[in-house]
């Protein structure tokens, strides 16, 4: 601790779980927006990751409210926001946004996408799997051409509705921080937009990682056209995200408010590792350099390096991007609480190992979506297999 800190500013109110919450919701929004590229914008190169992106969004969306639930003193009371809604509270309205996105957008789109396959699986499977798939079809077993055309059209319109819904799901998180006028680190009209584009970056990077790793474990070839396209989208999204963050930083410097001195001290001391090293260097500059050099989509179709080298570069770049995005969330949530309201002192934040809001709980919550995704992939495989191969693999 340094400078002058009021007694009520010594302890941070929002800890590591609140860092995790916008990170997870960003992955949900980014994965869904990636899925929409194939369904709405007809980007056929990313078709191999379409279903995987939907299941990834669903797995992380199911875990998204858990950090908030763990942070609450009485999580069992959270249902009251539905019984006594406060339309003036952005935090309270999250429950309705979450329910809309889960039921109307994600679950419906996945159901329309998989209905034909679930009917066929119910006919081929035996035992409990047959009843499972039949139950998932909700009794809708018609596979006629008009029925399948309706599924495709309904899924497309749901995706169109889901794009602004994804923007709302994560953009409101940035809106909450940006509307805190008393905090100069958060108060910015660009905060929701920065949150949104960083979410797109993190979602694309996550699906790229999952696609490469799952293909490796399944001993299946990676579609390099798809991977190259994902890398190019990741590169362009990062360019926009970095530009917005630089614009926000330049705007703060131009305003030259009295808070600029304490913010400079905080960046030079408390946030040097997380902001300069992790976010800027490892999470931004290095991945941009690798993607800019090796992605053939950025060089008029000229491949840079072998397929194996590009896969390794893309995978490493995506991992670094995820580290950088998590650092962004850390810098916003934790960094905004490290300086006093008098702008004359800095406090410190030490991460606890155990406890409800400790590092162990955070790691469990971060690993839980991958467990859920593993189950979803077993039940609803996101790839096309030759006839009979699913039964031989026991999937």
State how far the Cα of 381 lies from the Cα of 384, in Å rounded to an integer: 8
User: How many Cβ atoms sit within 10 Å of the Cβ of residue 244?
Assistant: 18
The pLDDT value given to residue 12: 78
The pLDDT value given to residue 4: 67
The pLDDT value given to residue 303: 53
The pLDDT value given to residue 157: 92
The pLDDT value given to residue 386: 42
Query: Would you put residue 3 in left (φ > 0), alpha (ψ -120 to 50) or beta?
Result: left
Q: Which residue in this structure is represented by tokens 């670094």?
A: 320
* Contact (Cβ atoms closer than 8 angstroms) between residue 325 and residue 202: yes
Coil, strand or helix at 3: strand
User: Which residues, listed in sequence order, are joined to residue 3 by a DSSP beta bridge?
Assistant: 345
State how far the Cα of 289 lies from the Cα of 282, in Å rounded to an integer: 11
Domains in the chain, number: 1
Coil, strand or helix at 346: strand
Q: How would you label 3-21 residue by residue, b for 16+ Cβ within 10 Å and e otherwise?
A: eebeeebeebeebbbbbbb
Low-confidence ranges of the chain (pLDDT < 70): 1-4, 6-10, 255-258, 297-305, 384-395
CA dihedral (74, 77, 79, 82) positive or negative: negative
Give the structural domain span for 50: 2-393
What lies within 8 Å, CB to CB, of 273 at 6+ separation is none
Burial, 304: exposed, middle or buried (Cβ in 10 Å; 0-12, 13-18, 19+)? middle
The pLDDT value given to residue 230: 93
State how far the Cα of 263 lies from the Cα of 258, in Å rounded to an integer: 10
- 63: domain CATH number is 1.20.1630.10
The pLDDT value given to residue 388: 41
- SS3 of 237-264: HHHHHHHHHHHHHHHHHHHCCCCHHHHH
Token readout for 295 is 């992605």
The pLDDT value given to residue 300: 58
Quick: pLDDT tens for 295-321.
776 665 455 668 888 899 999 999 999
What lies within 8 Å, CB to CB, of 311 at 6+ separation is 212, 222, 224, 227
* Contact (Cβ atoms closer than 8 angstroms) between residue 229 and residue 45: yes
pTM over 0.85: yes
The pLDDT value given to residue 27: 93
The pLDDT value given to residue 257: 65
Coil, strand or helix at 196: helix
The pLDDT value given to residue 145: 92
């Amino acid at each position: 601790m340094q400078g002058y800190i009021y007694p009520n500013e010594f302890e941070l109110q929002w800890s590591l779980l609140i860092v995790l919450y916008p990170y997870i919701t960003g992955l949900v929004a980014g994965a869904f927006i990636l899925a929409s590229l194939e369904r709405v914008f007809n980007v056929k190169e990313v078709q191999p990751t379409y279903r995987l992106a939907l299941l990834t969004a669903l797995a992380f969306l199911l875990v998204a409210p858990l950090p908030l639930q763990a942070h609450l003193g009485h999580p069992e009371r959270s249902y009251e926001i539905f019984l006594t809604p406060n339309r003036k509270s952005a935090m309270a309205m999250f429950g309705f946004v979450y329910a809309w996105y889960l039921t109307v957008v994600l679950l419906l789109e996945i159901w329309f996408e998989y209905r034909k396959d679930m009917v066929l699986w119910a006919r081929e499977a035996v035992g409990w799997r047959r009843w499972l798939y039949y139950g998932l079809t909700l009794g809708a077993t018609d596979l006629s051409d008009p029925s399948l055309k309706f599924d495709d059209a309904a899924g497309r319109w749901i995706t169109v509705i889901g794009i602004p819904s994804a923007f709302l799901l994560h953009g409101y998180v940035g809106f909450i921080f940006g509307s805190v006028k008393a905090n100069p680190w958060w108060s910015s009209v660009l905060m929701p937009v920065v949150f949104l584009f960083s979410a797109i970056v993190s979602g694309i990077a996550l699906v790229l990682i999952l696609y490469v790793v799952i293909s490796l474990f399944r001993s299946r070839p990676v579609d390099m056209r798809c991977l190259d396209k994902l890398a190019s989208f990741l590169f362009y999204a990062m360019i926009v995200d970095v530009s917005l963050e630089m614009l926000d930083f330049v705007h703060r410097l131009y305003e030259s408010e009295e808070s600029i001195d304490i913010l400079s001290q905080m960046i030079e001391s408390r946030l040097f590792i997380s902001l300069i090293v992790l976010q800027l260097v490892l999470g931004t500059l290095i991945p941009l350099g690798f993607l800019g050099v090796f992605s053939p989509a950025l060089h008029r179709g000229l491949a840079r390096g072998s397929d194996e080298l590009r896969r390794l570069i893309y995978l490493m770049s995506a991992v670094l991007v995820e580290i950088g995005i998590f650092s962004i969330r850390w810098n916003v949530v934790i960094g905004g609480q490290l300086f006093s309201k008098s702008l004359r002192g800095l406090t410190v934040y030490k991460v606890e190992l155990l406890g409800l809001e400790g590092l162990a709980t955070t790691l469990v919550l971060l690993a839980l979506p991958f467990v859920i995704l593993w189950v979803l992939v077993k039940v609803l495989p996101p790839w096309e297999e030759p006839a009979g191969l699913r039964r031989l693999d026991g999937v």
